[in-house]
């Protein structure tokens, strides 16, 4: 297995599957999101916040960064592995939004809904994941003073 697979793709996939699996379990258990009703651009819509899931995301961010760091990944690999659930959701919204705008037509109301989706399903999870990953992003003084010795 090459270094990029060990230090980036494997930790990112484990992190993504873990975070999304927990969200699925929470929904199966009947946890309901908190809805915030917003009136904007001539219409009303609800923004859904899964607070229990958002609270657990720093643990997944830390786990993804730890796995990448443990596989000798650099800071960018740690950051990408820890943010993989948030980046995946942002990517999905970025792929699906133009399709919806093409089918339903462009309006300010639909653009506001897309911005709200990016906030609640992309930006907030990414911030929570980043909070957990911060301790693993830089070289610690302990690692510089005592570098890892190869196992024999």
What is the DSSP track for 93-104? Answer: HHHHHHHHHHHH
Domain regions of the chain by residue span? 3-140
The β-bridge partners of 29 are: none
Determine how many CB atoms are found less than 10 A away from the CB of residue 90. Answer: 18
Q: Are 50 and 121 in contact (CB under 8 A)?
A: no
Choice among 25-29, 49-53, 101-105 with the minimum mean pLDDT: 101-105
Query: Residue 10 corresponds to which tokens in the numbers above?
Result: 């494997």
pLDDT in tens, 16-33: 999 999 999 999 999 988
**Does the pLDDT at position 40 exceed 80?**
no
Q: Measured between alpha carbons, how far is residue 118 from residues 21, 28, 60, 131 in Å?
A: 20, 24, 20, 18
**Does the pLDDT at position 8 exceed 50?**
yes
Task: State phi, psi for 145 to the nearest 5 degrees.
Answer: -75, -40
**Does the pLDDT at position 82 exceed 90?**
yes
Q: Measured between alpha carbons, how far is residue 1 from residues 7, 11, 39, 70, 101 in Å?
A: 10, 13, 51, 15, 41
């Amino acid at each position: 297995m090459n270094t990029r697979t060990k230090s980036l793709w494997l930790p990112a996939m484990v992190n993504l599957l873990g975070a999304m699996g927990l969200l699925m379990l929470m929904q199966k258990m009947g946890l309901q999101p908190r809805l915030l009703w917003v009136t904007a651009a001539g219409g009303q819509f609800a923004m859904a916040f899964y607070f229990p899931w958002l609270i657990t995301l720093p643990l997944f961010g830390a786990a993804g960064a730890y796995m990448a760091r443990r596989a000798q990944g650099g800071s960018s690999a740690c950051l990408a592995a820890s943010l993989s659930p948030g980046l995946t959701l942002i990517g999905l919204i970025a792929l699906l939004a133009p399709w919806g705008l093409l089918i339903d037509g462009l309006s300010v109301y639909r653009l506001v809904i897309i911005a709200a989706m990016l906030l609640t399903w992309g930006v907030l999870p990414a911030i929570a994941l980043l909070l957990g990953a911060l301790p693993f992003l830089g070289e610690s003084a302990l690692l510089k003073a005592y570098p890892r010795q190869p196992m024999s």
